């Protein structure tokens, strides 16, 4: 009666192993996508094949059917040993791709030999009788060929290595691996028992591998679940720390914004103070000259020539103050542009009015219509050309030629128009060139120092750029870079061709 009981018990273990394997395969596909879960699920499936085949072998009377069942059982052991070693190596974090290829290649060769029936001796089925608890039990086994004895060593070694790796993982701090280590050790003892049964060293015993594997499977499942729980707890703690850090960063960001706001206010106040000091300095000089001139006019007995000179000084300084106020308003007022198509040649030639008689302007613009017509605010660009031409004239006090040359260039990776205004004057040193764009900085006795800053603001409003090149004694070149075409119409997707 014990043989049917063994068959039924092994069938129950088979169902349990299938269920456990299905659980971990489902866990792999649904959530974690960890290869260890998939490997353990496949391992349970392979051992379910072994256990189910043994259950069938106990319940079969036909020798051919028994032999087929035992071959299937051995195939499950070979595949399970390879899957188990891969699983344990991954769990211990010692995986080497080359080693994995070797393990599965050897398993494939062994399964091929098993399928081709090279593994067994002819008529290799043998029955072994055992006395267990006063009952007679008949075990079926297959006698391997001599070459197969070497093949048996591979899955045995693979299974014996498992507890060593699990102990290594335990000693490295993975405390949940202790249960799996105990289960793997029991599994190794079961392998020794089954080998002793086949070799008839210990005939009165049972095949213990299916029973030991079920214990190993549940121990390993507990290990994986404990690791999952520990990982979940660590993840929750990490999320809590991240939330705390996020809140700290949010508060730091708010504090930083407050500091930045205060800094901007202080910078604005400093800029206003600097601007006020510069304006006061620029205004004080002509005012002092005017006060002295007026005091001279009030003195009795002055000649008409002296009065005329003093009145001329008053007119000159008043005009200087007027220019200062005009430039200051242009610099401080927001730049609002109204684009229209303007002839570059005409715009350049009109700036001749800002020159003295001893200066001439040469304009060189290619016949390309996209370069001859520019989309700018005519009034503002008249200010740009007048300021730059006036600077060039003052750089050449003895007279000379100012060259205005147009061509194609690049601006921020897009096609652009380049307008060069060149003079052959005294040029600028590196120190002067570096400060040339600063408000109120000038090397001219009567200059306001706002000409280039105003030009810079107008170009910025048009989406352009200003680049200065100068060498002492060789002259200065001012480069104006502007986007080609009408940027406002480009933004709307309809760019008319310039004519």
> Nearest 5°: CA angle at 287, between 286 and 292?
100
The DSSP code for 29 is I
Name, in order, each residue with C-beta under 8 angstroms of 199's C-beta and a sequence gap of 6 or more. none
Residue 456: count other Cβ atoms within 10 Å of its Cβ.
18
What is d(CA 138, CA 154) in angstroms, rounded to the nearest whole number?
28
Confidence of residue 499 (pLDDT cuts 50, 70, 90): very low
Confidence of residue 479 (pLDDT cuts 50, 70, 90): very high
92: tokens are 């211990």
- Find the mean pLDDT for residues 165-184: 84
- Find the mean pLDDT for residues 379-404: 86
Contact indicator for 188, 180 with CB cutoff of 8 Å? no
Strand bridging mode 373-376 / 414-422: unpaired
Per-residue model confidence as pLDDT tens digits over 423-450: 888 888 888 888 887 777 777 766 667 7
pTM: 0.49
Residue 498 has pLDDT above 50, yes or no: no
Rounded to the nearest 10 degrees, the angle between the axes of helix 35-59 and helix 63-91 is 160
Residue 71: count other Cβ atoms within 10 Å of its Cβ.
17
- Find the mean pLDDT for residues 395-410: 87
Tell me the pLDDT of the chain averaged across its residues.
Answer: 81
- Find the mean pLDDT for residues 266-294: 73
Helix intervals (H) in 97-208: 97-115, 146-171, 177-198
pLDDT at 271: 60
Residue 147 has pLDDT above 70, yes or no: no
- Give strand pairing partners of 129: 138
- Find the mean pLDDT for residues 312-338: 77
167: tokens are 């102990």
**120: phi then psi, degrees, rounded to nearest 5:** -115, 155
- Find the mean pLDDT for residues 33-39: 82
What is d(CA 402, CA 405) in angstroms, rounded to the nearest whole number?
10
The DSSP code for 494 is -
Residue among 190, 107, 193 at smallest CA distance from 152: 107
31: tokens are 């959530």
In percent, how much of the chain has pLDDT > 90?
Answer: 3
Secondary structure of residue 404 in the 3-state scheme: strand
């Amino acid at each position: 009666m014990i043989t049917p009981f063994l068959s039924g018990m092994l069938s129950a273990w088979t169902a349990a192993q299938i269920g456990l394997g299905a659980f971990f395969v489902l866990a792999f596909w649904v959530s974690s996508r960890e290869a260890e879960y998939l490997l353990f699920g496949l391992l349970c499936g392979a051992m379910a094949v072994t256990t189910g085949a043994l259950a069938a072998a106990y319940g079969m009377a036909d020798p051919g059917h028994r032999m087929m069942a035992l071959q299937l059982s051995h195939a499950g052991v070979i595949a399970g040993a390879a899957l188990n070693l891969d699983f344990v190596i991954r769990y211990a974090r010692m995986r080497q791709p080359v080693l994995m290829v070797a393990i599965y290649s050897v398993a494939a060769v062994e399964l091929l030999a098993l399928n081709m029936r090279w593994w067994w001796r002819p008529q290799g089925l043998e029955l072994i009788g055992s006395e267990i608890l006063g009952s007679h039990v008949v075990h079926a086994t297959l006698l391997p060929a001599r070459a197969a004895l070497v093949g048996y060593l591979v899955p045995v070694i693979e299974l014996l290595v498992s507890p060593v790796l699990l102990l290594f993982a335990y000693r490295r701090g993975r405390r949940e691996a202790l249960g799996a280590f105990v289960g793997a050790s029991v599994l190794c003892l079961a392998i020794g028992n089954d080998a002793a049964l086949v070799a008839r060293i210990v005939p009165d015993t049972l095949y213990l591998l299916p029973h030991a594997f079920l214990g190993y499977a549940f121990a390993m499942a507990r290990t994986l679940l404990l690791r999952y729980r520990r990982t979940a707890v660590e993840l929750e703690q990490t999320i809590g720390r991240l939330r705390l850090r996020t809140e700290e960063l949010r508060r730091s960001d708010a504090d930083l914004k407050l500091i930045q706001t205060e800094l901007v206010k202080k910078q604005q106040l400093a800029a206003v103070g600097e601007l006020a000091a510069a304006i006061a300095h620029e205004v004080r000089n002509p005012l002092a000259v005017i006060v002295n001139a007026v005091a001279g006019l009030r003195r009795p007995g002055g000649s008409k020539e002296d009065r005329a000179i003093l009145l001329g000084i008053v007119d000159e300084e008043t005009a200087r103050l007027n220019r200062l106020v005009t430039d200051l308003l242009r610099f401080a007022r927001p730049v609002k542009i109204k684009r229209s198509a303007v002839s570059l040649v005409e715009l350049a030639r009109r700036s001749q009015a800002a020159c003295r008689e001893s200066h001439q302007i040469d304009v060189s613009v290619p016949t390309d219509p996209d370069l001859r017509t520019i989309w700018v605010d005519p009034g503002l660009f008249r200010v740009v050309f007048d300021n730059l031409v006036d600077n060039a004239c003052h750089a050449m006090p003895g007279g000379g030629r100012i060259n205005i040359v147009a061509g194609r260039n690049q601006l921020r990776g897009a096609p652009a128009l380049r307008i060069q205004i060149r003079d052959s004057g005294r040029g600028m040193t590196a120190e002067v060139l570096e400060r040339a764009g600063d408000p109120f900085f000038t090397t001219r006795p009567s200059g306001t120092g706002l000409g280039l800053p105003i030009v810079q603001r107008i170009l910025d409003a048009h989406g352009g750029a200003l680049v200065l090149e100068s060498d002492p004694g060789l002259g200065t070149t001012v480069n104006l870079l502007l986007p080609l075409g009408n940027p406002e119409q480009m933004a709307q997707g309809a760019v008319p061709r310039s004519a």
